[in-house]
Structure 1
């Protein structure tokens, strides 16, 4: 039961991680301090795709599922839960490019918003 809970919590955390990697830069438009965790986690996500680094969340979920008596993850997280389930495998490269584009757009928007004068700030009358 405990291992099943660990596995499911890790799966949810992994989905949250993926959402943050793709969309977290847009949060930095509102909360500028968010750019730092986003840069780090987007860099990690990029490295798992480009350099084939293993994700520790995948290992934790696989371990917990095996300890719970279930079949572990025979493939990576995305291959298990998204590819062929949420979208057809033939769209993998397209979706990676779209995700990367969303990240770059969020970063560009962050830089543009930080460089322009803050016209949205309301100042108190003197």
Structure 2
């Protein structure tokens, strides 16, 4: 039971990591400090997708599954097992990856715009404060 719990927790954390990779930049619109963890998450996700880095959560899930007597994930990992062919057709993997990249870039562009607008507003108000 304990090993299965470890595997299931790793699976949930994996899913949370992927969700945060997609929406974390938008969360930074409200909570600016979350940009830095999101940058790290996006960079690691990019490394996994392009360089083929291993994900430690896959290792933990496989470790727990094996010790619980369950089948481990395929060598292609979490995304191929849980998402590809389930959430989107297998032939659209590149499209899904590009959609994630687009969401990240749009969120960062929006954050840059909000930052620019806030700075412009504070500059516009600064002379008024001097004359009051």
Cα RMSD (Å) of the superposition? 1.3
TM-score w.r.t. length of structure 1: 0.91
> Which is helix-richer, 1 or 2?
2
Residue range with higher mean Cα deviation, 110-119 or 80-89:
110-119
Q: Deviations over 1:41-62 (max 9, x none)?
A: 1100010000000000011001
Q: Which structure 2 residues correspond to residues 30-109 of structure 1 after superposition, within 5 A?
A: 30-74=30-74, 75-109=76-110
> Tell me, which stretches of 5 or more residues in structure 1 are unaligned?
120-125
Please give the secondary structure, in 2, of the residue aligned with 1:116.
helix
* d(CA) in 1 for partners of 2:105, 2:87: 24
Q: Could you state the TM-score of these two structures normalised by the residue count of structure 2?
A: 0.87
Partner of 1:122: none
Give the CA deviation at 1:87.
1.4
Which is higher, the Rg of structure 1 or of structure 2?
2
